[in-house]
Amino acid sequence: MSGFGRCQSLVERLGATCLLLVLLLSRRALFVLGQTPATPVIVSDLSGYPGKGYSLGVSLGTPPQELRVIIDTGSSNFAIAGVSNPDIANFFNTSLSSSFIDLNQQVSVTYTEGFWKGRLGTEYLMVAALSPLRVHLVAIDSAKDFYVKDSGWQGILGLAYPTLAKPDSSVTPVFNSLVSSGRVTSNMFSMQLCGTVDKGRKLDITTGGKLVMDGLSSTLYTGNIFYTPVQRTDYYEVAINRVDVDGVPLNFECTEYNNPRTIVDSGTTGLRFPTAVFNEMVKKMRAVSEQRAPTAIKPCAESDVFWQNTGVCCVPPENSNELFSTFPNISIILPVAGSQSTFKLTITAQLYLQAVPAVKLNKDCYKFFILPSDYGSVLGAVAMEGYYVIFDRQHRQIGFAASTCQIRDPEFDKPAVLGPYAGSSDPSACLYVPASSSSDTKYIGIGVGVGVGFIVLMVIVGAVVSNRGSDGRTSHESAGSSDGVYSRFA
């Protein structure tokens, strides 16, 4: 790292030579061929735990300090711990950096539960093995219920549009700075979130993934990429045309799925739908699951606390296959950009049943991660983990393709992107139009882990359903929700 420190201090004079040295010294990036054969695509590793987010390693300051930040497409600030906190292992010590510039402005973000506040400044950041760049950041000096214990990250890297930045859009998000400086040329980034997998029939509850900060990598997906238009540019807002349960459409007007909006958000754990949609969906899913469930799975399929997101289902490892075959697929139908057709994302049980730490010895435990929302639909990590997702800001569209991630059990349905299907109406016809503006409501928080202490344990026949008490939230959670995910409605 001493080579990087020397490079950073000479960056303005050495230019391309310094960039080459940085790339050679970085251990966090892998080079693969992307869309343009002459241009290497930098693929950075992501890591985490279920319900605690996907994080990326970054270097900050002079000399560089190594930290990890959660990757969040539902917010726009770059904020990092500036003081110690019991829930994190380290923090960015601004007094040890010769390049930190304090802008003498306080920034605060308040969540329904918890908050952070800190000093706005600028600092040299090295991310994804790109050459150091001076960016806006907030050094957090006070926080409550923001950090997630044992998550491994100390801050947040918001990748949404500048309109969401706090205190206002004069704060330039990191990705915008990368584009304007020429370090990123395509105005496009992409990610592959891989969730959890079985390793020799032993459930591994760590998660991993990849982030491509400039373009896309053909090694991270298979088949065709289907793009859907971004409807409004603050969040990555899209429009859902229809939702199916086990191949049968729910009976809602398409505007109800997007009430008041639908966003694609890597900073939210769950797949969320408006409350009315969620209730009908669970009713249909429960009916299918109860009919299919074998003896070992029936306690889960019939458990109120499981379907209400306040409990988990634990089964012997040999019965996990029966669990995945019991619960039905969910299909989300989206419009194809620039056409009158649609495509379909298939969300399988292996995606929406998320592995959590076992609450009973020799059991595999899962939580139902489809959740109700008072603030619209959110295609969070549960949905994204099935796909390679491309955020094409230049063309205002988001692409989905089948991921090359390993799935827990290849015997069952894999997440799929299917289409095109003819007959779509104008996607703008599915946008929800409120009676009065609600533009001040923002998704600006991040969220929480599911591995907190379980309060009540109920053993039912061959399965275990654990009731987590109250609403199961641990931090950053919006009012009315129950999953402890990274909801950012402040």
Report the catalytic residues: 72, 265
SS3 state at 415: coil
Is-contact 146 116, C-beta < 8 A? yes
| Assigned token pair, 353 | 């049943």
| Assigned token pair, 449 | 């882990």
List C-alpha distances in Å: 342 to 253, 286, 302, 345, 398. 16, 27, 34, 10, 14
Dmax of the chain from CA atoms? 70
Strands 377-379 and 387-392, by their bridges, are unpaired
**How far apart are alpha carbons 131 and 13 in whole angstroms?**
13
Count other C-beta atoms under 10 Å from residue 198's C-beta. 16
| Assigned token pair, 111 | 């969540």
Nearest one of 30, 365, 26, 472 to 208, comparing CA atoms: 30
Share of the chain residues as helix, strand and coil, in percent rounded to the nearest 5: 20, 35, 45
Residues in the chain: 490
**How far apart are alpha carbons 487 and 475 in whole angstroms?**
9
- DSSP letter string over 57-97? EEEETTTTEEEEEEEETT---EEEE-S--TT-S----GGG-
